[in-house]
Amino acid sequence: MSVMDPTVIEKLVVDAIRTVYDPEIPVNIHELGLIYGVEVNAAGEVAVRMTLTAPGCPAAQSLPQEVEQRVRAVPGVTGVAVDVVFDPPWDMSRMSEAARLELGML
């Protein structure tokens, strides 16, 4: 089995993450700015650094699990680690223009 290029895997991982939506906001978590980083090594292991809108977020358990499941399903991924961090804290300035438009904030 040939190993996929990590940059190809990274694009596929980001696409997969874009299918995960915050249960309270009709915008995907990538556009909301909840994903702080995605790294893929040569072996296909993926590290996702993400946050939540607030430490007490009702989706604190489900969102990281859903991210892990979606990423694990990406072709070429051999392992997944999702790290939930609160530094730097999330704020609305991290949202993409598309997310702001969707939420009527532009």
Domain assignment present for residue 106? The answer is no
Domain assignment present for residue 98? The answer is no
Query: What confidence tens digit (pLDDT) does each residue in 7-52 have?
Result: 999 999 999 999 999 888 889 999 999 999 999 999 999 999 999 9
Domain assignment present for residue 64? The answer is yes
Domain assignment present for residue 37? The answer is yes
Q: Which domain holds residue 83?
A: 6-87
Number of structural domains, the chain?
1
Domain assignment present for residue 92? The answer is no
Domain assignment present for residue 95? The answer is no
Taking the CB of residue 23, how many other CB atoms lie within 10 A of it? 12
User: How is the chain split among helix, strand and coil, in percent rounded to 5?
Assistant: 30, 20, 50
CATH number at residue 29: 3.30.300.130
CA distance 75 to 49: 20
Query: What confidence tens digit (pLDDT) does each residue in 63-97 have?
Result: 999 999 999 999 999 999 999 999 999 999 999 99
Domain assignment present for residue 94? The answer is no
Taking the CB of residue 78, how many other CB atoms lie within 10 A of it? 14
Q: What sections of 46-103 are H helices per DSSP? A: 62-72, 97-102
